[in-house]
Amino acid sequence: MNYWLVKSEPFKYSWDDFVKEGKSVWDGVRNYQARNNMMAMKKGDWVFFYHSNEGMEVIGLAEVRKEYFPDPTTEDARWVVVELIPIKKFAKTVTLKTMKADDRLSGLALIKQSRLSVTPVAKAEFDIILSLAE
DNA sequence: GCCAACGTTGGC
DNA sequence: GCCAACGTTGGC
């Protein structure tokens, strides 16, 4: 079991949109590192849902329902998507500020590679963020 | 294959 | 709105 974090600008696609649809095909990723992370996702992996730009916080937990397949929004065979389903919205969101201030999370890929839209989260980091969210 | 120019992301 | 970080493109 692995853990991940995906970013979305809430004006484009928010947690509420995600819940309303009940699932999401994570399309439009056009970055090799982000794509490689999606290709490493296994069914049942857990994924933090993060709001970038507005909010700047981890808002909920999702799960990988379908492993990677070709991105239906492009003819280009290089790009793939995964399908995610919402699990739960957190009682307390975890802000970027909180995560940056926590020494235990200094290695978080979200912080170190701030532009990457799909990042891995270590088990220890996952547990810490989850504990801050409840 | 190098690197300057350019575009995009996202925090502030 | 600004700009740092960084990925991509294209000329050489």
Q: Would you say A72 and A82 are in contact if contact means Cβ atoms under 8 Å apart?
A: no
* Residues within a 7 A CB radius of strand C: A 30-33, 113-116
Q: Using the 8-state DSSP alphabet, how is residue A129 labeled?
A: H
Q: What is the pTM of this model?
A: 0.94
pLDDT in tens, A1-57: 999 999 999 999 999 999 999 999 999 999 999 999 999 999 999 999 999 998 999
Inform me whether the pLDDT recorded for A80 exceeds 90.
Answer: yes
Q: How many CB atoms lie within 10 A of CB A113?
A: 12
Closest CA to A58 of A66, A45, A48, A68: A48
Å between A23 CA and C12 C1'?
48
Residue A13, exposed/middle/buried by CB under 10 A (0-12, 13-18, 19+)?
middle
Estimate in Å the CA A40 to C1' C7 gap, whole number. 21
